[in-house]
Amino acid sequence: MTLRELPVLPVLPVLAPPEPFQSSPEFVRISMASALALRYRSGKFARDFAFGGINLLLNYEDGCRSDCGYCGLGRSRPGDYDEKSFIRVEWPVVPTDDLVDRVVRYEEQMTRLCISMVTNKHSYPDTLAPTLNEDRLVALRDVGVDMIGFGLDAVTEEVFVRHRKDVPQGGGLKWDQYWRLIHAARRTFGPWKINCHTLVGIGETDRDLMGIFDDLKREQIFSYLFCFNPEPDSRMGDWPKSPLVRWRRIQLAKWLLEENDVPLAEFRFDADGALVGLGGGLALATDAVESGMPFMTNGCPSAGGTPGCSRPYGSYRPSEPFRDFPFKPVGVDIEGIWDDLRLDQLTAP
39-83 pLDDT, tens per residue? 999 887 777 777 788 999 999 998 888 888 888 888 888 888 777
Provide CATH code, domain 21-345.
3.20.20
Contacts 24+ apart (CB under 8 A), 255-259: 255/288, 255/293, 255/294, 256/280, 256/284, 256/285, 256/288, 256/294, 257/210, 257/213, 257/214, 257/217, 258/213, 258/217, 258/223, 259/288, 259/293, 259/294
150-205 pLDDT, tens per residue? 999 999 999 999 988 654 443 457 899 899 999 999 999 999 999 999 999 999 99
CA 138 – CA 38 distance, rounded (Å):
31
191-222 pLDDT, tens per residue? 999 999 999 999 999 999 999 999 999 999 99
Per DSSP, the three-state class of 311 is: coil
| Residue 132 clears pLDDT 60, i.e. is over it | yes
**Dihedral of the alpha carbons of 163, 297, 187, 219, in degrees to the nearest 10:** -90
pLDDT class for 108, splitting at 50, 70, 90? confident
Range with lowest mean pLDDT among 213-222, 243-252, 340-349: 340-349
Q: Which residues contact 41 (CB under 8 A, 6 or more apart)?
A: 32, 35, 92
CA 228 – CA 26 distance, rounded (Å):
31
CA 188 – CA 194 distance, rounded (Å):
10
Q: What is the pTM of this model?
A: 0.88
Stretch (H or E) spanning 193: none
